[in-house]
Amino acid sequence: MNFGGVIEEVMTREEFPLEKAREVLKNETIAVLGYGVQGPGQAQNLRDNGFNVIVGQREGKTFDKAVADGWVPGETLFSIEKAAERGTIVCLLLSDAAQMQLWPKIAPHITAGKTLYFSHGFAITWNDRTGVVPPKDVDVIMVAPKGSGTSLRTMFLEGRGLNSSYAIYQDASGHALDKVLAFGIGIGSGYLFETTFQREAVSDLTGERGSLMGAIQGLLLAQYEVLRENGHTPSEAFNETVEELTQSLMPLFAQKGMDWMYANCSTTAQRGALDWMGPFHDAIKPVVQKLYTSVKNGEEAQISIDSNSKPGYREGLEQELKALRESEMWRTAAVVRQLRPENN
């Protein structure tokens, strides 16, 4: 397929239909370890598509959520170790921190002939730091949906598919390619494009820290603050910074591209956007390059590993998220959301 002049091979559901995926994985027991972020969407989609799925989860609120979603303790819902023992395809959908913590308990169950599956390349790419080193006699594969597990599930129920990348780190069986493509179709991917564990990990960490989360919050906050500091009300500053972007403009460029979104705005907006696009690019690109270098050389991975291993990390994280939630911009957001027509 031609992507802006670059030819790239992709796999669609027409080329690798669900029936073929079921045939490839018909004798497999898929053990989804972790029912937090990606686990629910992937496990439920696989189950609904007719695959043999079990879930491994520690007891607590998340275990109770799995029960509420129809997983039966002792039949399709087990402890993490027991699910790893029973599964022939063992899916590490735990957080990166939990993968490192629990790997010593999971590893003994990753026996010859099994398949180890990931949805993120972190643990394998930096396994000299994480300690997640798979044995040589198993397949190691990855399907990484390009969105949250919630989006994966929602789009599946709507009859759509979330695009995913796939990779093979180790092909002990000689059949890893069929397995990974079947798995990608089984979880409801829209189309599948090839990557490596290393490229996925680096691009994912760069995206999260950049345009997907870190940079977008920094940009929105900077504009909101400038408007507020110059006398604009919270409602005006928020609407001009966030609400119009998310509710009006994002759907336009998601549907048909940035040029189409520009074409559907006023000529004044078009002129200003085209003129200021360059200065923003020139200011931001060095920061993105610095970020990419930090990710590529493992610094960001080490920061995550060190932070996640500190006592009281979760409590500290909640305080940081609370400060974000209680900032004026996002307190304003809560009010604006309530004022949307669908909420009245």
pLDDT in tens, the chain (344 residues): 767 777 788 899 999 999 999 999 999 999 999 999 899 999 999 999 999 999 999 999 999 999 999 999 999 999 999 999 999 999 999 999 899 999 999 999 999 999 999 999 999 999 999 999 999 999 999 999 998 899 999 999 999 999 999 999 999 999 999 999 999 999 999 899 999 999 999 999 999 999 999 999 999 999 999 999 999 999 999 999 999 999 999 999 989 999 999 999 999 999 999 999 999 999 999 999 999 999 999 999 999 999 888 888 889 999 999 999 999 999 999 999 999 988 87
CB 136 within 8 A of CB 111: no
Is the distance from CB of 23 to CB of 39 less than 8 angstroms?
A: no
Architecture of domain 2-195: 3-Layer(aba) Sandwich (3.40)
pTM: 0.88
Residue 261: how many other CB atoms lie within 10 Å:
20
Contact 80, 105 (CB under 8 A): yes
Pairwise CA distance, residues 244 & 17, whole Å: 39
3-state secondary structure 211-269: CCCHHHHHHHHHHHHHHHHCCCCHHHHHHHHHHHHHHHHHHHHHHHCHHHHHHCCCHHH
Residue 163 and residue 144: Cα distance in Å, rounded?
9
Q: State the catalytic residues.
A: 120
Q: Residue ranges of the domains in the chain?
A: 2-195, 207-343
CB 139 within 8 A of CB 172: yes
